[in-house]
Structure 1
């Protein structure tokens, strides 16, 4: 009598046995002598081949491990790592895209997507497909804000109707909320504002998408008077820049009118005119006699005579900057309303 004893086992690279060799051992023989050992070597051998019919299993891990945005959205582009429990090949595809052999962790694209994956082991066993649903939106909404009309930059006129408009778009998770304020006061898209005093104002528009990405835009604008230079020596280009070209005399007259946004003449005694060549400056304020800025409501104009003898740096052939300011009292800040170029010949 005897029994089959396994004496050798062959494993694959994963440590799983794929072949065993058995030796029939006769219990009547003993290995205690050379004679019995030689007899036992004549006993038959049996080889057992073990087949692999078990499919592999693939797991997916994501970094970050859970959505870091709102409503189940990832706002950080997630990394997807696939791992099979035995040797072979792993495949994946995104939505209905081409199937790809997996080799390393990949970044899930923005949007709502289905990732399908599976593995095939070295014995040809194919795993049932698994799926992973991901929602990714790492981009903030696109935001626009504007106010009309504007004159030479973000400059608006007093008493002029100012239309505020803003809009937000988000093609991935969608816009969730949009808010706007002017100087902290909530406003609606398309709302019309008017200001009766010169001042600086701030428009802030904020938006958030469904994933929690937030964006804001700030527009600072100035409300003031419309300054128009008078006389044949003053010309204006298409961009609204004024050139005052006049002959050098002992007295140089500068004339301008000031109106609000609906065309009414404005008499504001906080007026201040500054002439500069970059190194030297001459400043003039309101007064009833020269060399101050006089206001004539009947003619609807402001008049300033500049006596060149008091400013030897004002010479023929020179080019200068003339700035007009208003404000500085009754809580109104000093605001630059207009800049013109003065050229003497």
Structure 2
């Protein structure tokens, strides 16, 4: 297929970025990291261009960690303004930023964290951007968006050979999904030679699939509920049900009060769960009605500790992917703050 001039230019720009080297000041600044994962890995971070969609609490955690690690450039896009409610969960904004654009409000503190990282701010909606907008980025990380937006952006990234992450937090629950296309990484193993241990490095590859395809994963029935839950966590089915509800109703479930159950939304969640469970003959005990009631109470809520956990794992995985050290998440990570359990599911 013949490439357009714009595609050729974008390819040239990405190759040009890879020629950048760490200067002495940067080498000193990132000395500990270079000792940990090597000079080449730090250089890859230095030459990376990352887009973060969304500027709420989860995004704050991810941006902070990526900036401290020394990525090349970080672009944040968000068209919404800081609210008073944001102050309880976001640490990159303050009271003076209420009413101001979220992404713009984050910039000052991020720059102070690491002036070596180029911070770009876009105060538009991601939905207003066309395909060409994404071409300058190596990684796109989308937070706080609905399923239809995630699928659309993921497909654009696939067409342009861009790594894709999606993540969100709903109260005590959180998830990460990644589509890294065909990803190469270095596996290190300690091998004993005589009385000494030496490190053996092997280059491996992992194939990923798009979000839409992963949601159509065909579950294999197990003879017992216990065996099924060892293989598939109930938290994934909770996240799946919530995403499908949001996609069908163009909103999240609404919490009414402690004394009044939102039976309408609960029944809609049950219908989504039951349809999936019937299709694959999954035991209904995997995801109880009580769990669905909990997700109604948690939907759309940001708790700083949960954002810190999920955001920390997400940013570390992005760094692993960029540095090509270790295998990144393949391809779902689901977190339940009630139990403290985080589970990786490979739905490929």
TM-score by length of 2: 0.18
The structure with the largest strand share of the pair is: 1
TM-score by length of 1: 0.18
The structure with the largest helix share of the pair is: 2
Bigger relative contact order, structure 1 or 2 (CA pairs below 8 A, ≥6 apart): 2
